[in-house]
Structure 1
């Protein structure tokens, strides 16, 4: 298994090199006309990402000239879709060839809705990418920026799928010598020399032959199901004002409704009663869309608290009131009583919380931080009250990839002997939610042989 993983990972790394923007010109200040493609930035500093600075010193500018290659590892990129993924936890404006294409007041993150550079890329045509970061309160950090070539993304997905199919069938064969022999026979068919030399047709032919050898695993593989839960993690007023939080909710919730229209299988889960109240007050048409999706069973409300607070710092009465007001509001507006307390970002858990949840009719607790890394466990309070807890071993904010799905599925099965797992995905912090990329990936994973089912799900079904 190690040789298969190594060969695929090495080729994926080679393909990913094309996504890297090697360096940026950087300047603090307000240089006039710096967004123009022909602006002279030769005196600016040369930096690599992630790069941090003091935003109190003024606005900051980053400039890079992109020269997309004609081919990478034998894959022709002419005419493919080219996007850029930018992540900046500070407000920014992005210019493409001098034209403003993106602006966010407090948090610039194009991972949920990628920024298009070229619908049909023309190799040899330079692209000027300029990012102007707002002046702030001292926190300035350009985390990442990378190119996304549609054709390379397809190839990377295909390589990850092969690796994941072999990883999953290797797991299934672990206790059966006959199955192990079949697996070894299939692994021997893979033409790693062709992969290394970028003879893609020969490599793919060997993959199809290997999959045929693994066909005895197909039925068993589909008896495992990874339930994919899409959500939008929305921090309340962390690095931005309240009105921006409302705008994030409007953006995300309207986007989720459009994704449901486009993808009939798509489900979405959202916590925090306050986010629904924002829509009822400011965007009643979106609020009605949510009500309709809840009635359809495709929008799961996981809001058992008014906001996702830091539970370890709040008084007991505060915790009770959070639950009381949230459940009254959600029940009156949507006719449901959520079963899970959704707290992915709290940095602590009061020992008495199982008692409060149990007495409130909430049997499940989901979290990511400050646990003992047990994905499923009974959490018992001092009085003996218990709720079923889940600490997500992969954390919130995942993306749907074959390897992540298999990792999640095998971990749950190895620990607990069950053939169902929960995988949470969706861009977050400043919202984002599930994306079309994620949904399309889930469809491919679910349809692929030798993989677990990858089905849209909710926290409690």
Structure 2
């Protein structure tokens, strides 16, 4: 047998490209086209339909960046086409290789009924099947001229990412506006040949099946008359019947295809455009569901469903019907597909609360799965949050992007910090944009790591990122792959159906303990500092607003702001989407985010102040309100008390330059360069700073990753570093502070180092007027601590990472996430570095250089970056950060000081002290939320967790009358299997496992 496979493959490609595909639409006539360009932002549908358009010709340029144009296309179906299938082909100037990343459209009938979306892989609109001939055609297209931001080779800075800088130059050329006859036999021949050609390419050369397909394809091509493709297509298809109907082997891998369109809630487009992307995609998918009885589509992100309901009621009606039919499936049970590294404990919980509640309220559907295909790694606290929300499964895809280590499982149990395990699937197809190519399905089968014990995987199928969804071509290919020899089998299924089958078939999968770290996109922990600060500030203001409003409601009848808090929470959750909070969106997104966070801060501050005023009453007694979960100097957690008197801090000159701060607990030496050369714990007689090193050291690195500018920092950035040791000014400032000023490049740093009376922490306030590009700014604390591991705070607890790089897995974690603190210790003594708004950090260990044995450990906080894509002006301007070095800190001190630096005291005056609604007698038990129940019943909800990593017995004392107490899930629903906690009057006793999360609901007496 001679080896002519390459010749047949080459022949197949050319005949498909040059003869068969062009014959899919054998006859066409042009449509008449007119256009009206909206003057600014998108207009309501009724206004767009009513506008009077002007003439435009195919071949004309149209569409300023971020503009909206309303095209009207009209025509008449030729009489001679009677009995044929006719479609409108509407090409706005698409590049078929960029679905979701350029111009798109939504087609309407004249009465405003949506028809379907248009995108580069979906340019057709069905007119009739068959037509009678003579039909008048009139369609309207709401076309969005979104500019092409993303160019993979290379990423270039662009001003197109904000309409304020994008200009007005037309972006697209109107390419085709025709009525055309669809030859369905030719269309099916194209799919037959594509499926067989793609399968053939994946089979081994020596495979008999490959040669069977090759000869069948050869015979089919022989049957095609290249001058009469339509007339010979049926004969060509007949020659493929045998190879297309040979069943798959019983041992074939099984793929559950789930129709999907991963739509980023913002990324290379603003939030307002996502509203329209979702409308276009859902219109497409409801239409496809009508045409394809086996097809199933799943859409995540309750926010996106809510947008359709609010902004496109005509589309919403179709979606609701498809959901009722069981084929348009709400997935994931989260408000958005959020980042999971940086959101705080309560915010991560509320993602599920608001997401699941939306689907329950609208459809009565309970989501059992978390659906996060594109999130940049997963924090170790997430499994118990998923379980506490009433869910039990997780799907993700992004870990396949890891650069260094290949994840060892595709189906596994993921164990979180408290021991909760979640059945997790990681699709081996390695994409959340599966298009049913033979190469994708073959890769899924080959790549699947659980062969021999499982053979079932999931494939999210459809164009995503910018939306579009599944196409009829994908559905047709899946139909041919349902039971085809040489291929994995494919069947359309819901996520629930897949997980139920997969879990039943693999009841004892392997266990992965701890975080699911993505070995990529590490710089998202630092990019767009203002967005991250806005998130952190909003989270803590929401805590304060709920706490004080609930307290005031019970004590004074203060009207609890249910609607305001619900709206603000949803806004904060939206901005935790995995391209907003991580800082990887265009300038427009982050500009709007800054304004949104400022507005949120004003609204929440007003709620807090109004509630505190109601609680404080009229009077001149000085009061301190403390919303942190630990008492402070006589002020109870969750209450208000009298300010405490403080001793003084001595500020004296230091020999050789600089200053010494001493408050009797710590003695801090700051040299003439403004560096901390000593932070001495006087009680423990222990030095914090590593010998011969200096803390508060700003370090500047070049930062030009190989790809993905705003997303990535590559390990080689460490090869070059500049220590910023030159100081313009080091002066005493006030009674307990030293001011340090530095300039470098075109930037300026002003720091205030403060050792307050009675404090065991050195506060470091840093203001950076930042005007660098492609640089990475770190703040280093070299510490005289021997530590093989360190703790970083995550949701509802903390997680330990090694300080060494014994294996490639540890070495890959050269930039990691923490919330409010990083803590490291030797037995009996430790150090914490706490922060008010930063997340990225690195921790390294060094052998001492003074000849002594042992190691030191350096914690470096990531402050600022300056990538130029997708926002060329990322983080330019003034930033303010607050950190604290806490010598002698145990893990409990780290927890307490982390809260303290984030939730400052609020001072006012009133009639007298304010008792808290709830107090806890155990520092290890941290209350993260005190609020009124979301259902408006007036019940009080208290959420808390064990924060030190050990077992705890704690008593909660109630400051209000409660008729009953119930253990609930995050949605405040009773947990039948959870016994009621022991109660003695107003005292509730609880016993907690390490990091255990508990929600209690108290009915009012």
Instruction: Give the TM-score band, short-chain normalised.
Output: 0.5 to 0.7
| CA 317–4 in structure 1, closer or farther in 2 if over 3 Å, else same | farther
CA shift for structure 1 position 250: 2.0
| CA 286–193 in structure 1, closer or farther in 2 if over 3 Å, else same | closer
Say which of 270, 278, 284 aligns to 1:249: 278
Which residues in structure 2 correspond to 1:141-290 (within 5 Å)? Answer: 157-163=191-197, 184=208, 187=211, 190-191=214-215, 199=222, 218=247, 220-221=249-250, 225-290=254-319
Residues 419-461 of structure 1: CA distance to partner in whole angstroms, max 9, x if unpaired?
A: 4332211111221111222222222333656654422112121
| Partner-residue secondary structure (3-state), 1:446 | coil
Say which of 109, 120, 138 aligns to 1:111: 120
CA shift for structure 1 position 275: 1.3
The equivalent residue for 2:415 is 380
Q: Report 1 or 2 for greater relative contact order, CA contacts < 8 Å, sequence distance ≥ 6.
A: 1
CA shift for structure 1 position 185: 8.7
CA shift for structure 1 position 307: 0.8
| Partner-residue secondary structure (3-state), 2:391 | coil
Say which of 384, 400, 403 aligns to 1:355: 384
The equivalent residue for 1:47 is none
| CA 191–322 in structure 1, closer or farther in 2 if over 3 Å, else same | closer
CA shift for structure 1 position 274: 0.6
The equivalent residue for 1:425 is 461
CA shift for structure 1 position 201: 6.6
- TM-score, structure 2 normalization: 0.32
Runs of 4+ in 1 over 6 A off after TM superposition: 35-39, 80-84, 132-136, 149-153, 167-171, 204-215
Question: For the Cα contact (< 8 Å) 1:406–1:452, is it kept in 2?
Answer: yes
Question: Would you tell me which structure has more strand in proportion to its own residues?
Answer: 2
CA distance in 2, matches of 1:38, 1:333: 45
CA shift for structure 1 position 298: 1.1
Question: Would you tell me which structure has more helix in proportion to its own residues?
Answer: 1
CA distance in 1, matches of 2:313, 2:259: 23
Question: For the Cα contact (< 8 Å) 1:221–1:450, is it kept in 2?
Answer: no
- TM-score, structure 1 normalization: 0.63
Residues 331-358 of structure 1: CA distance to partner in whole angstroms, max 9, x if unpaired?
A: 1221111111111221121121112112
CA distance in 2, matches of 1:152, 1:14: 16
The equivalent residue for 1:439 is 475
Question: For the Cα contact (< 8 Å) 1:235–1:429, is it kept in 2?
Answer: yes
CA shift for structure 1 position 89: 6.7
CA shift for structure 1 position 227: 1.6
The equivalent residue for 1:301 is 330
Question: For the Cα contact (< 8 Å) 1:12–1:156, is it kept in 2?
Answer: no
Question: For the Cα contact (< 8 Å) 2:100–2:468, is it kept in 1?
Answer: no
CA distance in 2, matches of 1:170, 1:206: 25
Say which of 364, 367, 370 aligns to 2:393: 364
Query: Which deviates the most, 451-460 or 229-238?
Result: 451-460
Question: For the Cα contact (< 8 Å) 1:357–1:363, is it kept in 2?
Answer: yes
1:323 has 2:352 as partner: yes
Which residues in structure 2 correspond to 1:12-51 (within 5 Å)? Answer: 13-14=13-14
CA distance in 2, matches of 1:439, 1:214: 16
Query: Which is greater in Rg?
Result: 2
| Partner-residue secondary structure (3-state), 2:354 | helix
| CA 198–385 in structure 1, closer or farther in 2 if over 3 Å, else same | same
Which residues in structure 2 correspond to 1:37-116 (within 5 Å)? Answer: 86=95, 87=98, 92=103, 110-114=119-123
CA shift for structure 1 position 269: 0.2
CA distance in 1, matches of 2:375, 2:248: 40
